[in-house]
A and B are shown apart, each in its own frame.
Chain A
């Protein structure tokens, strides 16, 4: 057992071939023939020849499988079979059967095509398959088949062919007369192996007559376990129910045939058997009523087990459950490192890491065992070399301590510095699962540095996240090298930093680098508090500026030139250009254009020159610096921040009044028919466009007034100016005017007959009646304004709710289509079968996550 555990992973399965089970194969692989629908005898013991026969595997503890002699969980289960009284059509092959009947001669069974063209087509198919692949050849077979179908005289035996039609779900008509499965089977038997290639059929894996079932395999019991209810009653699996029906009807059919019952009764039973077998394969056939439980709930049969999201493939094969994981609420802690994750002690005591005992670490590991499971850091299990797992409790502790020797594995509790994979759903990109270092902390939430909120898209309004603890050295190594936070700093989506400062860290650094001054002692204590110990960069003066303080956390010799947000407004402002010379911030303000997510090359260049590890370190300090500054200075957004002087209020009033007058003028023109329509538009539509334009312009003007009259030093304004949170539109809406509410790009037109709300006159085209909100949030909204606002609010909620599944599906399709593409050693991008998609990745072979914003920054390189 242990030896196997140790052997390296090698490819065990190299290919999978899909075939149809032939009747002989079914009989050969069967361990038992099922002859009775009964399940258990009076003692509750499985009946021989029943569906729960113990030759088919065991699901009860204590019983031994009659076929392989293994116990529960060891026996994989064995197939059985039943002999069907009359042949039954396999519903999943019905279309193929019809096609074959239509395309072959009813008498001689040859394909309805002259021998010469048969050979020609088969050769052509073979060529297509070799050159273009299997899928392309399917398209060609479709062509051949449609050709064959339209032939109505056999070129081989010259017989006329009858019209064959499928009557759903499972009857086949020839000239409106039903042909029995027996007849179908004999016809299919006549088709030659050579002709089958025309239909894309491989005769060694599928013979047409096999799709008319004469024997039915019975799946092992392990595949359909029964559950024992609390009352001691047994509840059988859906499949067992269905198989019970099949066996029962089959027996009845046998008896009736043997007793020589009238044909009509036999036909009915035969149809019933067909129904049961059909629903056994698929209980969701359009023309058939689904088979139901007694409660009325449809049975889940074979097809339902496999398909859809909850089916075997997507639920159990493509996605799997895991141990060694944990989930709880998250909360922020800027004081831990960016690549750390705070884990509650209680969780750390449950999650374990296996460590192999050697002569060198035996004493160290014994300490864990000595502490037991209840004292941190302890040990929860030990694993003997034979694979036996032992739980450590106060009673077993002593024995385990005695027993332990090299070769044992000790499952010790999680400790600081261990590796954990941290994840938040929806895991939309690879940064949604990153590897962090464990930091065991008190309290009950996972703690993360808010700088990594952006890649996880996390906030702290109750979000939960998961951790996974890799259990093998290989997994840990891969997690550390490929998934650690450091390695994910640059987003592969756009080649810029995705882990960066946000919110308080930006406003803090903004305030710091803009105008703060400190006494030297203050600066020193501030820097020490964020973990910066190298103070040599601090100038030897009594008063130091914020820029000096910020420079301290930059590496020596760092050169950077960039722009701050001010640049767009006024390129001549001394702080518009960010210049870092020899690791010193000479001029410029740190704001979201340099520190923020997905913008600016500051962080990108740090990574380039000093490596990811150093950058994470610096970024952590920046973040803490920003947060500490705000703690020191105080930061708040009072309602008085939205105050504007009376003069500005008057100006806004004037602007709005003017806009309203213009609108009224437009309406007047429209009503008098003087308004000229845009080409291809009605006059009313033209009016609407013009009104929207005027009102939006007015709102923007009020925004400008607000921005110009506001107190520039208010904290709210600092947030906006630094890019930490909020934008100028938010400011304008708070103190100026909320503006036009639009539904689908138009003014609000829904509501009552010829008006939006009952407080307006009919046919009022004015701004207020169609959703223009004149007031600001500070001033307060009129009831109708509030109502219009809620309308657009609801609309945007709907939008979000409808968008999520749509984009989710698009994403799933993209991921499925593209998941196999990889760069080969020769630099080409190919898909799994080796077809070339691109000769050079992205036409220049540049990895976006190694680029600077998707480019090789020639200017910077040339500068040296």
Chain B
């Protein structure tokens, strides 16, 4: 090894991704050739670098805001498979950038580990994820008015499908309806109140309650759908619950994603949430056939996440964090901000754009940023 690896000497000067690309396209070149190539790449990279003072924020806002007018408003769309509804288009972008906690159509894409991803027991696995209530297990509910008791007929075929004994159902009922005796009798379960006074009304209420009692699966997942993606099975769900899904042993945690950004932030952390914002926005923009560079989306995601928690692009989120009173006042609820500023005696240092526009002064951005230093005799 006479010469040092030319790639090493450019580390830190050229982004790693570009270096790798060069490496790939010159697999067998001599060191001299590589070094020459890197020199030209470096030169080109320097030319393509962003200039200090560039108003990257407003460029990003324009790049996302301008195509917004071209997006469709159609709230629902069918995601690849025709059975599930997904929010797409402008409403979805608004939802993400607002930083809304409850999104319209929460979804997960659950990837599976090896034997299951090839389709082993796929239906059973899917059913294990779906949140089921007793409604599905019970084929019939009868109310015995004479004895003030409820008789539940079980759906045996279904029980067999999910592999649950009748006794389990009894246990669930006992747990959730304390004060009732639950007895198994052949194919049906009979429930009776232990207290003497019992009204019929109460019984009806209990009947409805039984139907909605949690039975099995992951809470929050209302629908499951196994789909074949290239050469493996993926389970798409309506409703999310990453934390619980990760506990299941057949789930590939590394690839499973949710479209609920807050949930991702909670379960996987803020960096994952940032990436999720980028991915979700990208997904919408791609689906609409629009072309927006990832850097713009990144910048928006970074702005939303830089404080360590998700802040929406609203007056309660990112805009509230601004240091300038006038900048906040010029956005929304000006009176509130001015009143607040008077109480705290806030000082606006006029560091950002809008205040200086208001005062007819040069803005500290772009060509307004540099000043001349000169010796005064």
Q: Which residues of A contact B (CB under 8 A)?
A: 9, 11-20, 92-93, 96, 133-135, 200-202, 204-206, 282, 303, 306-307, 311, 313-314, 317-318, 426, 428-430, 478, 482, 492-496, 598, 678-681, 689, 693, 744-745, 799, 802-804, 806-808, 810-811, 813-825, 827, 829, 831-833, 835-838, 841-848, 850-851, 854, 856, 858-859, 861-862, 864
Q: Across the interface, do A818 and B57 meet the contact criterion of CB distance under 8 Å?
A: yes
Residues of A within 8 A of B44 (CB): 856, 861
A493 touches B292 (CB 8 A): yes
Minimal beta-carbon separation of B174 from chain A (angstroms) = 30
Within 8 A of A (CB), among B15-66: 15, 17-18, 21-22, 25-26, 37, 40-41, 44-45, 47-66
Min CB distance, B332 to chain A, in Å? 9
Indicate if the CB atoms of B342 and A19 lie closer than 8 Å: yes
Bound together, the chains give a CA A858 to CA B41 distance in angstroms of 7
**B52 close to A825 (CB less than 8 A):** yes
B218 on interface, CB distance cutoff 8 Å: no
- Given A803-B69, A858-B22, check contact A318 B341 (CB 8 Å): no
**Contact yes or no, B293 A429, CB < 8 A:** no
In the assembled complex, the CB of B203 is this many whole angstroms from the nearest CB of chain A, namely 30
Q: Does B318 contact A (CB under 8 A)?
A: yes
Chain A residues with CB under 8 Å of B338's CB are 18, 306
Tell me if B325 and A803 are in contact (CB < 8 A).
no
User: Would B313 and A814 count as touching, CB distance under 8 A?
Assistant: yes
Task: Verify A832–B327 contact, CB threshold 8 A.
Answer: yes
Q: Among the listed B76, B344, B364, which residue makes an inter-chain contact with A134, where contact means beta carbons less than 8 Å apart?
A: B344
Query: Is B73 close to A, CB under 8 A?
Result: yes
**If the complex has contacts A201-B343, A819-B352, are A846 and B49 also in contact, measured as CB distance less than 8 A?**
yes
B157 within 8 A of A: no
B321 at the interface (CB under 8 A from A): yes
**Is the CB–CB distance between B350 and A317 below 8 Å?**
no
Q: CA separation between A282 and B339, bound complex, in Å?
A: 13
Contact partners of A282 in chain B: CB under 8 A: 335
A817-B313 CB under 8 A given contacts A20-B343, A744-B74, A838-B299: yes
* Cβ-defined contact, A493 with B298, below 8 A: no
**CB–CB B48/A847 < 8 A:** yes
30 A/B residue pairs, CB under 8 Å, sorted by A: A14-B350, A15-B348, A16-B326, A16-B347, A19-B345, A205-B342, A314-B330, A318-B330, A429-B65, A430-B62, A482-B367, A494-B293, A680-B83, A744-B76, A803-B90, A806-B90, A806-B94, A814-B64, A816-B330, A820-B327, A822-B366, A823-B56, A833-B351, A841-B54, A842-B295, A844-B15, A845-B49, A848-B59, A851-B48, A864-B40
- Measured between beta carbons, the chain A residues less than 8 angstroms from B172 are none
Whether B93 lies near A823 (C-beta < 8 A) is no
Which residues on the A side are within 8 Å of B59 (C-beta)?
Answer: 430, 492, 848
What is the distance, in angstroms, from A779's C-beta to the closest C-beta of chain B? 29
Given A16-B350, A18-B338, A814-B313, the answer on whether A206 and B15 have CB atoms closer than 8 Å is: no
Q: Bits for B84-125, please: 1 = Cβ < 8 Å to A, else 0.
A: 000000100110010000000000000000000000000000
Determine if A96 and B343 form an interchain contact, defined as CB atoms under 8 angstroms apart: yes
The 4 A-B pairs with the shortest beta carbon distances in the complex, nearest first, are A821-B57, A205-B345, A811-B65, A842-B295
Q: Are A845 and B15 in contact (CB under 8 A)?
A: yes
Which segment, of B159-167, B183-191, B354-362, faces chain A?
A: B354-362
Q: Within 8 Å of chain A (Cβ to Cβ): is B322?
A: yes
Interfacial chain A residues near B344, Cβ < 8 Å: 134, 200-202, 205-206
- Partner of B346 from A134, A689, A813, A837 at Cβ < 8 Å: A134
Q: Does B287 contact A (CB under 8 A)?
A: no
Residues of B within 8 A of A745 (CB): 74, 76-78
Segment at the A interface, from B140-148, B257-265, B300-308: B300-308
Contact of B48 among A313, A813, A850 (CB under 8 A): A850
Min CB gap A130→B, angstroms: 13
Identify A843's interface contact among B15, B47, B56, CB under 8 A. Answer: B15
Which chain A residues border B56 with CB–CB below 8 Å? Answer: 821-823, 829, 841
Tell me which residues across on chain A come within 8 A of B155, comparing CB atoms. none
Contacts of A492 in B (CB 8 A): 59, 62-63
Q: Taking CB as reference atom, which chain B residue is nearest A18? A: B341
Which residues on the B side are within 8 Å of A816 (C-beta)? 319, 327, 330-331, 354
Select one of B25, B69, B97 contacting A814, CB under 8 A: B97
Q: A18-B341, A823-B51, A851-B48 are in contact. Are A429 and B66 (CB under 8 A)?
A: yes
Q: How many angstroms from the CA of A816 to the CA of B21 in the assembled complex? A: 37
Q: Is B334 interfacial (CB 8 A cutoff)?
A: yes
Nearest CB of A to B155, in Å: 17
Give the contacting residue for B68; candidates A807, A844, A848; CB below 8 A: A807
**Is the CB–CB distance between A92 and B357 below 8 Å?**
no
Does A799 lie within 8 Å of B48, measured CB to CB? Answer: no
Nearest chain B residue, comparing its CB with the CB of A200: B344
Residues of B within 8 A of A744 (CB): 74-76
Known: A810-B65, A820-B352, A861-B44. A829 touches B299 (CB 8 A): yes
**Quick one: closest A residue to B22, CB to CB?**
A858
Indicate whether B139 reaches chain A with its CB closer than 8 angstroms. no
Closest-by-CB residue of A relative to B360 is A320
Contact of A204 among B67, B317, B345 (CB under 8 A): B345
Nearest residue, chain A, Cβ from B365: A822
B residues less than 8 Å from A205 (CB atoms): 342-345
The answer, yes or no, to whether B72 is at the interface (CB within 8 Å) is yes
Of the candidates B49, B354, B358, the one whose C-beta lies within 8 Å of that of A847 is B49
B5 at the interface (CB under 8 A from A): no
State how many angstroms separate the Cβ of B130 from the closest Cβ of chain A. Answer: 9
Chain B residue nearest to A429 (CB atoms) is: B62
Instruction: Check if B61 sits within 8 Å of A819, measured CB to CB.
Output: yes
A831–B21 alpha-carbon span in the complex (Å): 32
A823 and B52 in contact (CB under 8 A), knowing A18-B338, A493-B296? yes
CA distance A862 to B292 in the complex (A): 27
Let me know if B294 is at the binding interface, CB within 8 A.
yes
Least Cβ–Cβ distance between B53 and chain A, in angstroms: 6
CA distance A745 to B87 in the complex (A): 12
Give Cα distance in the complex from A826 to B57, angstroms: 17
Complex CA gap A837/B300 in Å reads 9
> Known contacts A93-B343, A822-B57, A861-B44; can you find 14 more A-B pairs with CB under 8 A?
A96-B343, A200-B343, A200-B344, A313-B358, A806-B90, A815-B62, A818-B57, A818-B299, A821-B55, A823-B53, A829-B56, A842-B293, A842-B299, A848-B59
Distance of B293 from chain A, by nearest CB (Å): 4
Of the candidates B59, B76, B351, B361, the one having the most CB atoms from chain A within 10 angstroms of its own CB is B59
Question: How long is the Cα–Cα vector from A202 to B76 in the complex, in angstroms?
Answer: 51
Q: Please measure, in the bound complex, the distance between the C-alpha atom of A19 and the C-alpha atom of B77, giving whole angstroms.
A: 53
Q: Is the CB of A494 within 8 A of B291?
A: yes
Contact with A820, one of B40, B225, B322, B349 (Cβ below 8 angstroms): B322
Q: Is B353 an interface residue (CB 8 A)?
A: yes
A37: shortest Cβ distance to chain B, in Å? 27
Q: Which of B83, B93, B317, B347 contacts A679 (CB 8 A)?
A: B83
Q: In the bound complex, do residue A317 and residue B330 qualify as a contact, i.e. CB atoms below 8 Å apart?
A: yes
- Chain B residues, CB < 8 A from A14: 349-350
Cα–Cα, bound, A677→B352 (Å): 59
CB-nearest residue of chain B to A841: B50
Which residue from chain A places its CB closest to the CB of B307 in the assembled complex? A835
Say whether, besides A810-B68, A832-B323, A843-B298, A837 and B306 are in contact (CB < 8 Å): yes
Q: Is the pair A806, B73 in contact by a Cβ cutoff of 8 Å?
A: yes
Q: Which residues of A contact B291 (CB under 8 A)?
A: 493-494, 496, 598
B329 interface residue per 8 A CB criterion: yes
Cα distance A206–B345 in the bound complex, in angstroms: 7
* Nearest CB on B from A721, distance (A): 20
CA of A848 to CA of B62 in the docked complex: distance in angstroms?
Answer: 13
- Name the residue on A nearest B81 (C-beta): A678
Shortest B292–chain A CB gap in Å is 6
A854 CB contacts on chain B under 8 angstroms: 293-295
- How far does the alpha carbon of A847 sit from the alpha carbon of B299 in the complex, in Å? 13
Using known A-B contacts A206-B342, A847-B49, determine if residue A862 contacts B26 with beta carbons closer than 8 Å: yes
Set of chain A residues within 8 Å of B317, measured between Cβ atoms: 817
Say whether B71 faces chain A, with CB atoms less than 8 Å apart: yes
